[in-house]
Homo-oligomer: A and B are copies of this chain.
Amino acid sequence: MNSFGKIFRVSIFGESHGQVVGVTIDGCPAGIPVDIDQISDQLERRRSGKKGTTPRKESDIPEVMSGVFNGFTTGAPITLITRNSDTRSSDYEESPFIPRPGHADFTGRIKYSGFSDYRGGGHFSGRLTWGLVVAGYFARKIISPASVSAKLISAGGNNDIEKAITIADGRMETIGGIVECRIDDLPVGLGEPFFLSAESVLSSMVFSIPAIRGIEFGTGFAAASMFGSEHNDSFTDSSGTTETNHSGGINGGITNGNQIVFRIAVKPASSTGVEQNTIDLRSNKSTTIRVKGRHDTLIALRVPVIVESAAAIAFADLLTIDRGINLRSDRYK
């Protein structure tokens, strides 16, 4: 059950150590120019190989399988894949029996009655977010001229992120972080009351990203300590501009034309270099595990482009619900 959206639909498939990871984007307007270099630029932002990320060199090159003709989307489902190459399956030989704490090894094993692909997390791997970034390319075009921008604002509770990485590396540890995302120039009126509120759709997309533990809109958790008249955003003109933006650009689940603002908490990667306690499912006896697979000190470094993509996908769906799949093809020319 791995697809999102009512009209602009995104489905991801693949496994960390299988043949490919891929994505299908359905319900995408025809006439969007497809520039593989632009997609690759976005993917580059998600890649490992930088300080704080795993040295695994992932093959991230996107191959178009369908839905693109003469450089434009055709209106048919768009599928892109990337081959997996730099994988060391032998790192994961014991995974089926000795679940790594914090990972989906245990839950996947039970859910799928022992048939899940456990190598490197299999289908649960963060590598699947490749497909979110690719889908984000199309989503950004759809919501344009709206623009999405996210950045890492703290790591390990520290604003100096370089320093936080150095401390963690010294302990063979991983650390988490906070990412803030802002969206400008969305029209008033996106989102549906209650179950498809802008917050519902955004949060549901954002929690699709592995390692996210919380989300808050506008003033967020701090709102719980404010008085009503302090938290309310006064209107200053009839286009809906507000003096403050405590609501983060959403009223009643509907975009109000001001900047969308939300923050997310990224947990430290579960794969640390430190020895941890776990259980051997064959013997029901305690054992320890030191994760051998290569890993990221600060996965939150990769998250901004993924969150931007997730947010763009969420609003591309809300926009196509509001305005239809097919009416907008002129604007991309």
A236/B104 in contact, CB under 8 A = no
Does residue A304 face the partner (Cβ distance < 8 Å to B)? no
A2: chain B residues at CB < 8 Å are 26, 76-77, 192-196
B277/A234 in contact, CB under 8 A = yes
Render A250-293 as a binary contact track against B, CB cut-off 8 A, 1 for contact.
01111110000000011111111010111101001010000000
Quote the shortest CB–CB distance from A58 to chain B (angstroms): 16
Of the candidates B189, B213, B237, B277, the one whose C-beta lies within 8 Å of that of A111 is: B189
Quote the shortest CB–CB distance from A242 to chain B (angstroms): 8
- Residues of A in contact, count (CB < 8 Å): 152
B188/A107 in contact, CB under 8 A = yes
A213/B203 in contact, CB under 8 A = no
A3/B31 in contact, CB under 8 A = no
A69/B18 in contact, CB under 8 A = yes
Are A74 and B193 CB-contacts (below 8 A) given A214-B214, A234-B278?
A: no
A220: chain B residues at CB < 8 Å are 213-214, 265
Given known contacts A20-B79, A113-B326, A154-B224, what 10 new A-B pairs fall within 8 Å (CB)? A1-B26, A15-B76, A18-B66, A22-B79, A74-B122, A75-B108, A101-B235, A213-B221, A228-B270, A229-B274
B77/A65 in contact, CB under 8 A = no
- Of A46-54, A142-150, A204-212, which stretch is located at the interface? A204-212
B104/A254 in contact, CB under 8 A = yes
Does residue A120 face the partner (Cβ distance < 8 Å to B)? no
Of the candidates B176, B224, B330, the one whose C-beta lies within 8 Å of that of A177 is: B224
Does residue A309 face the partner (Cβ distance < 8 Å to B)? no
A14: chain B residues at CB < 8 Å are 65-66, 79
B253/A104 in contact, CB under 8 A = yes
Tell me, in angstroms, the Cα distance from A106 to B238 when the chains sit together. Answer: 9
